[in-house]
Amino acid sequence: MNNNIERDENFNQVCVWPGMCVDEEDRHDFQEYFLQNGYRVILLETITTGPDRDESGNVNFETGGRIDTIFAVHNEDVMKFAIPRIDMGIRWIEDVLDNEAENHSIYPNRVKEYRTW
């Protein structure tokens, strides 16, 4: 995929669920699971991560290849989702990207456009 998925204006906060693979055919079930738990979400995409770099900046080809699910939470549900997401291993996109090396990301550059803060 070369472009980010467009979001409804009411779904600004983007989340990353590392290691979770949700196929397009499971989109409805994914969104319904969260809805039944009180959170409106929209599945955006799954991404295969690229390799990490070591402290010297060399690519470690033995890493990468993890599937991460990226989704957006409805603006009105963000605050009540903030704590429960932690137990599930779900992170805000901003936290994920801000904790990467300054000159290297395991995600395509376009993913940075998902940030809202």
The total of structural domains in the chain comes to 1
User: Do 50 and 63 meet the contact criterion of CB atoms below 8 Å apart?
Assistant: no
Q: Is residue 3 part of a domain?
A: no
Instruction: Write the CB contacts of 56 (distance below 8 Å, at least 6 apart in sequence).
Output: none
Q: Which range has highest mean pLDDT (30-34, 50-54, 62-66, 105-109)?
A: 30-34
Average pLDDT of the residues of the chain: 91
Q: How confident is the model at residue 8 (pLDDT cuts 50, 70, 90)?
A: confident
Q: How confident is the model at residue 2 (pLDDT cuts 50, 70, 90)?
A: low
In which domain, by residue range, is 33 found?
13-114
Q: Is residue 106 part of a domain?
A: yes
Q: Is residue 1 part of a domain?
A: no
**pLDDT average, residue stretch 64-78:** 96
pLDDT in tens, 80-103: 999 999 999 999 999 999 887 677
Q: Is residue 7 part of a domain?
A: no
Q: Is residue 91 part of a domain?
A: yes
- Give pTM, 2 decimals: 0.90
Instruction: Write the CB contacts of 57 (distance below 8 Å, at least 6 apart in sequence).
Output: 103, 104
Instruction: State how far Cα 45 lies from the chain centre.
Output: 8
* Percentage above 70 pLDDT, the chain: 97
55 CB neighbour count, 10 Å cutoff: 6
Q: Is residue 95 part of a domain?
A: yes
